[in-house]
Amino acid sequence: WCAVPLIHTALRLLPTRSAVALVTALATLVVLAELRLADGFDPNHLLLPPVVAALATGVFVYLTREATRRQHLIDDLVRTRRELAATERREGTLAERQRLSREIHDSLAQGLSSQNMLLQAADRQWDTDPQAARTHLRTAASIAAHGLTEARRLVHDLAPADLAEGAGLAQALATLAARESRDGLTVRFHAEGPDTHLPDQVASALLRTAQGALANIREHSGARTAALTLTCLDDTVALDVADDGRGFPAPEPGGTRDPLGDPDPLRGHGLPAIRARLRQLGGTLAIESTPGEGAVLTATIPLTPATPPAS
pLDDT-based confidence at residue 14 (cuts at 50, 70, 90): confident
Q: Where does the pLDDT of residue 154 fall: very low under 50, low under 70, confident under 90, or very high at 90 and above?
A: low
Dihedral sign, Cα of residue 36, residue 39, residue 41, residue 44: negative
* Dihedral sign computed on CA atoms, order 130, 135, 136, 142: positive
Residue 158, pLDDT score: 52
Mean pLDDT along residues 105-125: 80
**Is the pLDDT at 7 greater than 60, yes or no?**
yes
- Rg over CA atoms, the chain: 38
Average pLDDT, the chain: 79
1-10, 19-28, 131-140, 156-165, range with the lowest pLDDT: 156-165
Pick the more confident residue, 33 or 16: 33
Secondary structure of residue 135 in the 3-state scheme: helix
The architecture (CATH level 2) of 168-311 comes to 2-Layer Sandwich (3.30)
CA gap 6, 22 in Å, rounded: 9
What are 22-60's pLDDT values in tens digits?
888 888 888 788 777 776 666 766 777 788 778 777 778
pLDDT number for residue 148: 77
Confidence band for 305, pLDDT divided at 50, 70 and 90: low
Model pLDDT, residue 98: 75
Q: Helices (DSSP H) in the chain: which residue ranges?
A: 3-13, 16-37, 43-104, 110-125, 130-155, 161-164, 169-180, 200-216, 270-280
Residue with more model confidence, 259 or 10: 10
Average pLDDT rounded to a whole number, residues 139-168: 70
| Cα gap 142→46, rounded to integer Å | 105
- Longest CA pairwise span in the chain (Å): 134
Q: Which of residues 18 and 105 earns the better pLDDT score?
A: 18
Residues in the chain: 311
Question: What pLDDT sits at residue 231?
Answer: 92
Give which of 251, 245, 249, 237 is closest to 296, Cα–Cα.
245
Asked whether the beta carbons of 3 and 32 are under 8 A apart, the reply is: no
Mean pLDDT of 256-285: 66
Span 52-95, pLDDT tens digits: 778 777 778 788 889 889 999 999 999 998 888 888 878 877 77
d(CA 184, CA 151): 28
DSSP-derived 3-state class of residue 112: helix
User: Average pLDDT in the 117-142 region?
Assistant: 86
Q: Looking at the predicted structure, is the pLDDT value of residue 257 above 60? A: no
Q: What is the reported pLDDT for 250?
A: 58
Sign of CA dihedral 114, 119, 125, 129: positive
Residue 264 in contact with residue 252, Cβ under 8 Å?
Answer: no
Work out the average pLDDT over 168-178.
88
Q: Rounded to 10 degrees, what is the CA torsion of 181, 247, 147, 129?
A: -50
- List the chain domain ranges: 3-81, 168-311
Q: What pLDDT is recorded for position 104?
A: 73
Q: Is the pLDDT of residue 263 over 80?
A: no
Which residue in 247, 281, 310, 295 sits closest to 99, CA to CA?
281
Residue type, 7: I
- Statement: the pTM of the whole predicted model exceeds 0.75: no
**CA 265 to CA 296: how far, in whole Å?**
23
